[in-house]
Chains A and B, each alone.
Chain A
Amino acid sequence: EAQVTQNPRYLITVTGKKLTVTCSQNMNHEYMSWYRQDPGLGLRQIYYSMNVEVTDKGDVPEGYKVSRKEKRNFPLILESPSPNQTSLYFCASSTAGAWTDTQYFGPGTRLTVL
């Protein structure tokens, strides 16, 4: 089954404790991205990657890092989480380049930073 998986689905942590949210897709997609969703603000893109070793900032990249060492994985790293990073996070993937491509979203990771 074609899917985007995220782990963990729920995470409660404390300020400053480094964490990684994993994202994996099994569709051989070149393009992957991370979004955060906050009440009243809709979805905002954090980072995206057009292919392996190619990443770029979205709208709200501050406080986040990403890496793309393999095509299927695109982890989101919070080196020193803060309470304002409490949010619902979604990973997405698609074939790269064409503007017609459908993006497939993961189920979401709900992060709480105390």
Chain B
Amino acid sequence: DAKTTQPNSMESNEEEPVHLPCNHSTISGTDYIHWYRQLPSQGPEYVIHGLTSNVNNRMASLAIAEDRKSSTLILHRATLRDAAVYYCILRPSSNTGKLIFGQGTTLQVKP
């Protein structure tokens, strides 16, 4: 199964952009890249996903490398509420429902 690698922690200042990297060098050709985040004392929540092209939604942007071996979640203006653990997840194309979580990156946002 393809694995993901993320930095353990990152820091950001409030209202500045944040770039959260994820490496997935063994990704399969049709695996989707999902990002979830987990706020303190809550279950994970969906952030964004993509396959090959860059994606934008109201929460974030996802930049996917041309070779798909890495991706970056971009929070355009970090707020204190964005302090969370961010997980980069590969959704296998084999349609088994199995998700592979990375270790996650703990994002600290300083006021």
Contact = CB atoms under 8 A, between A and B. Distances in A.
Interface of A: 4, 31, 33, 42-45, 48-50, 56, 58-59, 90, 92, 96-97, 99-100, 102-108
Contacts of B99: 33, 45, 103
B103 A100 contact: no
A100 B49 contact: yes
B42 A108 contact: yes
Interface of B: 30-32, 36, 41-46, 49, 87, 91-93, 95-99, 101-104
Main SS class of interface, B: loop
A107 B104 CA distance: 19
Given A42-B102, A42-B103, A102 B97 contact: no
23 contacts: A4-B43, A31-B97, A33-B97, A33-B99, A42-B87, A42-B102, A43-B87, A45-B99, A56-B96, A59-B98, A99-B91, A99-B92, A100-B91, A103-B44, A103-B46, A103-B99, A105-B44, A106-B43, A107-B42, A107-B43, A108-B41, A108-B42, A108-B43
A64 B86 CA distance: 27
Interface core residue of B93, B97, B102, B104 (most chain A CB under 10 Å): B97
Main SS class of interface, A: strand
Closest 10 CB pairs of A and B: A105-B43, A99-B32, A102-B46, A99-B91, A48-B97, A43-B101, A105-B44, A42-B101, A90-B43, A42-B103
B104 A42 contact: yes
A99 B103 CA distance: 21
Contacts of A103: 36, 44, 46, 99
A74 B34 CA distance: 24
Contacts of B32: 99-100
